[in-house]
Homo-oligomer: A and B are copies of this chain.
Amino acid sequence: MISDTPDFPISITDIRKAAEYLAPVAVRTPLLESPYLNEIAGRRVLVKAEVLQRTGSFKFRGAWTAISALDEKVRARGVIAYSSGNHAQGIAHAASLFGVPSIIVMPEDSPALKLANTRALGASVVTYDRAGGESREAVGEALAAERGLTLIRPYDEPMVMAGQGTVGLEIAEQAKAAGVSEADVLVCCGGGGLTSGVAIALHSVAPGLRVRPVEPAVADDTCRSLIAGKRLSNEGNPDSFCDAIVTPMPGELTFPVLQQLAGPGLRVEDQAVLIAMGQALMRLKLVVEPGGAVALAAALEPCNVEGDAVICVVTGGNVDPQLISAAAATFAP
């Protein structure tokens, strides 16, 4: 274990500051436990229920923190983000609560529900023609320059990492209250904003808790990158229904953190994820989306970890009704 983290883009102080920003508005999500899941896993399974966060995912934490940290005059001009998913909803809602404008740049072929939700949360949605080769960056940069908007990236953004890291502060306190001081903490990993933020938090306040990133087996860039010691890309166009966490490669700012602080990555198949979603419905009473369920899927596999307990984060619950039904149908007691 290293003694300090001088090279990281954020420190525990930034994460504590984020926790102060979030205290009046964010949900302190519970750390849940079910005897049924413990039985399946062969150990205690503690589940951090971030699906209960505002907008249905942990992304609100980073969005609120990044907007909070802006200079007041800069903030008043508004923010912009590229996202068709949970980051978009987090930014839209956080900006709306602040009373500042937000523009979300989304592909014009995004699912109708995602477009509608993002607008309902208060954002102006600008679409671009992905198939026609239009670049979201070109669309976004022109708008940002014209209106003086601040771009908030989904993971390679220090204040976003700090906001997501508050999940780690809460896990540390809640795990201690549950009597757990040594465990692997499994975190769904796309670009690594949540995983790296939680890693920095736990390194500082609960060194017996070690982060391990979890990915879909077909999009295991972080897992392979940690082995290779350098950032590797996913090849081709990975086909997984865990689309929310399929990213091209680990983040530039996030990966060095994982290299120093995270344990080995874990990989899960889509079918195991669907079954974990069904267990979450029936045993935890939680709706979890595929990308948000990979860490739970990994936690339910007894061979993946050692020790008497495992902690996992269910990160998002924004899923359509058909997939909820499909997950429920997998349930077998």
A194, CB-defined interface residue at 8 Å: no
Please, which residues of chain B bring their CB within 8 A of the CB of A217?
A: none
| Interface contact A333-B113, CB-CB below 8 Å | yes
| Most B C-beta atoms less than 10 A away, residue of A29, A36, A286, A333 | A286
User: 17 more A-B contacts (CB under 8 A) besides A28-B30, A285-B317, A322-B328?
Assistant: A27-B30, A29-B30, A32-B52, A33-B54, A35-B120, A35-B121, A36-B120, A52-B284, A52-B286, A56-B285, A281-B321, A285-B287, A321-B328, A324-B325, A324-B328, A325-B328, A328-B328
Q: How far is the CA of A285 from the CA of B292 in the complex (A)?
A: 12
Q: Which residues of A contact B (CB under 8 A)?
A: 27-30, 32-33, 35-36, 39, 49, 51-52, 54, 56, 93, 113, 116-117, 120-121, 278, 281-282, 284-288, 317, 321-322, 324-325, 328-329, 331, 333
Minimal beta-carbon separation of A244 from chain B (angstroms):
14
Minimal beta-carbon separation of A257 from chain B (angstroms):
28
Residue of B nearest to A36 (CB): B120
| Most B C-beta atoms less than 10 A away, residue of A39, A56, A282, A284 | A282
15 contacts between A and B (CB under 8 A): A29-B30, A33-B54, A35-B93, A35-B121, A51-B285, A52-B284, A113-B333, A120-B333, A278-B321, A281-B321, A285-B287, A321-B331, A325-B325, A325-B328, A328-B328
| Interface contact B27-A333, CB-CB below 8 Å | no
Please, which residues of chain B bring their CB within 8 A of the CB of A29?
A: 30
Minimal beta-carbon separation of A312 from chain B (angstroms):
16
Q: How far is the CA of A322 from the CA of B325 in the complex (A)?
A: 8
Candidates B35, B282, B324; contact of A281 at CB < 8 Å: B324
Residue of B nearest to A324 (CB): B328
A interface, by DSSP: helix, strand, loop or mixed?
Answer: helix
- With contact pairs A32-B27, A35-B120, A120-B36 given, residues A282 and B52 touching in the complex (Cβ less than 8 Å): no
| Interface contact B52-A285, CB-CB below 8 Å | yes
Minimal beta-carbon separation of A141 from chain B (angstroms):
30
Please, which residues of chain B bring their CB within 8 A of the CB of A49?
A: 52
Please, which residues of chain B bring their CB within 8 A of the CB of A117?
A: 333
Please, which residues of chain B bring their CB within 8 A of the CB of A35?
A: 93, 120-121
Q: How far is the CA of A325 from the CA of B30 in the complex (A)?
A: 25
Minimal beta-carbon separation of A37 from chain B (angstroms):
12
Q: How far is the CA of A33 from the CA of B55 in the complex (A)?
A: 10
Please, which residues of chain B bring their CB within 8 A of the CB of A331?
A: 321
Q: How far is the CA of A287 from the CA of B93 in the complex (A)?
A: 24
Q: How far is the CA of A317 from the CA of B35 in the complex (A)?
A: 16
Minimal beta-carbon separation of A318 from chain B (angstroms):
8
Please, which residues of chain B bring their CB within 8 A of the CB of A39?
A: 120
Residue of B nearest to A113 (CB): B333
Please, which residues of chain B bring their CB within 8 A of the CB of A281?
A: 287, 321, 324
Q: How far is the CA of A284 from the CA of B287 in the complex (A)?
A: 9
Minimal beta-carbon separation of A17 from chain B (angstroms):
21
Q: How far is the CA of A329 from the CA of B324 in the complex (A)?
A: 9
Please, which residues of chain B bring their CB within 8 A of the CB of A116?
A: 333
Please, which residues of chain B bring their CB within 8 A of the CB of A278?
A: 321
Minimal beta-carbon separation of A269 from chain B (angstroms):
21
